[in-house]
C-alpha cells in the first residue's frame, strides 16, 4: 500500500443512493463508488434507501417523546428528539452514519429537476434541528458554511435523461448548477458542508456500452480526488460579505445578481471561502 493510500485510510465515506431498480445506472454507480473508495483505503458506509424501505414522510411517529403533544412543530420536535436522544431508530442509525462520515455522496437520478422523494425524505428526517441547522441553539448565526456538518464534504453524483445541451447556460432546462442550487447551496452548504462540483451523466437512458464505460472511468477518477478537490466557492454567511448576515454588501459582487453573486469568482478576494480541512 502506498504512503498516499495509508494517509487516507482512516477516511469514512457515506454513499446514499435512491433508485427502485437494482440494475439501474444509479445503483451501478453506487457500487462503483463503494469499490473504488474501498480500493483507496477508505471506509465506506452505505444507505440504499429503497433496500432500507426508507420512510420518506416526516410525521408524529418520528418523535417518540413529544415536547408538545398538542401541536406538531417539526422543527421543535426534531430539536427536542436530537437533544434528548429520542430519535426514531431508523433516523438515529442514519444520523450515526452521517456523523461518522468525512464525506457524503448522494447518488440519484434527476427527477423533475430534483432528487427523488425518498432521498428528500432522508434529508428531511435525518438533518435534525441541532445537527444540521440551528447549530448549538444559535439560531441563524451558524449557517451557510458553518454548523454541525462543517468539515464534511458532499458530492452529488446524478444521472440526467436529457442531453448536456439542455442543461447549458442557454439550454431549455436551465443551467444544471442553478437547478441543483436548492440542494448544493440551500441544503448542504447551509448545513456547513464543503460541496464539490456535481458529477453528472447526461443522456443516461440512451448510453451505449462504450459511453457507459467512459462515464464510469470519469467517475472513478473523480472519486480518487474526493478529498483533494476544491469545493464550490460559495460565500460563507459569517465571512464578511454579508454585513447584516442577510444581504451582500454593496461592494461585493458589484453588478451581479442571482445565484452567481453568491459564488466567489476566479481572481476575486477569497477571504470568505471555507477551505478544506
Taking the chain (277 residues) in runs of 10, the rounded mean pLDDT of each run is 47 95 90 94 95 94 90 92 92 95 96 95 94 70 80 94 89 92 94 94 84 88 93 90 88 87 75 44
Q: What is the pTM of this model?
A: 0.88
Q: What is the pLDDT of residue 135?
A: 64
Which pLDDT score, from 0 to 100, does residue 137 have? 57
**CA-CA distance, 131 to 126, in Å (whole number)?**
9
- What does DSSP assign to residue 186? I
Q: Which string of DSSP letters, residue by residue, matches 210-241?
A: HHHHHHHHHHHHHHHTTTTSPPP-BPPTTSSS
What the block records as the C-alpha cell of 255 is: 453588478
Residue 265: what are its φ and ψ, rounded to 5°?
A: -85, 160
In order of their start, the domains of the chain are 3-231 (3.40.50.360), 233-277 (no CATH)
Distance linking the first and last C-alpha atoms of the chain: 24
Taking the C-alpha atoms of residue 188 and residue 185, their distance in angstroms, rounded to an integer, is 6
Q: Contact, 219 vs 199, CB < 8 A? A: yes
Amino acid at each position: 500500500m502506498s504512503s498516499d493510500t495509508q494517509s487516507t485510510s482512516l477516511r469514512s465515506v457515506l454513499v446514499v443512493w435512491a433508485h427502485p431498480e437494482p440494475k439501474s445506472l444509479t445503483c451501478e454507480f453506487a457500487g462503483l463508488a463503494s469499490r473504488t473508495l474501498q480500493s483507496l483505503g477508505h471506509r465506506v458506509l452505505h444507505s440504499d434507501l429503497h433496500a432500507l424501505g426508507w420512510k420518506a414522510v416526516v410525521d408524529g411517529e418520528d418523535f417518540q417523546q413529544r415536547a408538545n403533544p398538542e401541536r406538531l412543530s417539526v422543527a421543535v420536535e426534531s430539536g427536542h428528539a436530537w437533544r434528548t436522544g429520542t430519535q426514531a431508530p431508523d433516523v438515529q442509525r442514519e444520523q450515526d452514519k452521517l456523523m461518522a462520515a468525512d464525506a457524503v455522496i448522494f447518488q440519484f437520478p434527476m427527477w423533475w429537476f430534483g432528487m427523488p422523494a425518498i432521498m428528500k425524505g432522508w434529508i428531511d428526517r435525518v438533518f435534525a434541528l441541532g445537527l444540521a441547522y440551528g447549530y448549538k441553539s444559535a439560531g441563524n448565526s451558524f449557517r451557510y458554511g458553518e454548523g454541525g456538518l462543517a468539515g464534511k464534504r458532499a458530492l452529488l453524483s446524478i444521472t440526467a435523461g436529457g442531453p448536456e445541451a439542455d442543461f447549458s447556460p442557454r439550454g431549455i432546462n436551465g443551467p444544471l448548477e442553478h437547478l441543483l442550487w436548492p440542494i448544493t447551496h440551500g441544503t448542504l452548504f447551509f448545513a456547513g458542508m464543503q460541496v464539490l462540483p456535481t458529477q453528472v451523466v447526461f443522456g443516461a437512458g440512451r448510453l451505449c456500452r462504450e459511453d457507459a464505460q467512459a462515464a464510469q472511468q470519469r467517475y472513478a477518477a473523480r472519486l480518487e480526488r474526493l478529498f483533494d478537490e476544491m469545493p464550490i466557492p460559495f460565500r460563507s454567511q459569517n465571512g464578511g460579505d454579508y454585513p447584516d448576515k442577510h444581504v451582500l454588501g454593496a461592494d461585493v459582487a458589484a453588478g451581479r445578481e442571482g445565484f452567481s453573486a453568491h459564488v466567489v469568482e476566479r481572481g476575486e478576494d477569497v477571504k470568505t471561502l471555507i477551505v478544506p480541512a
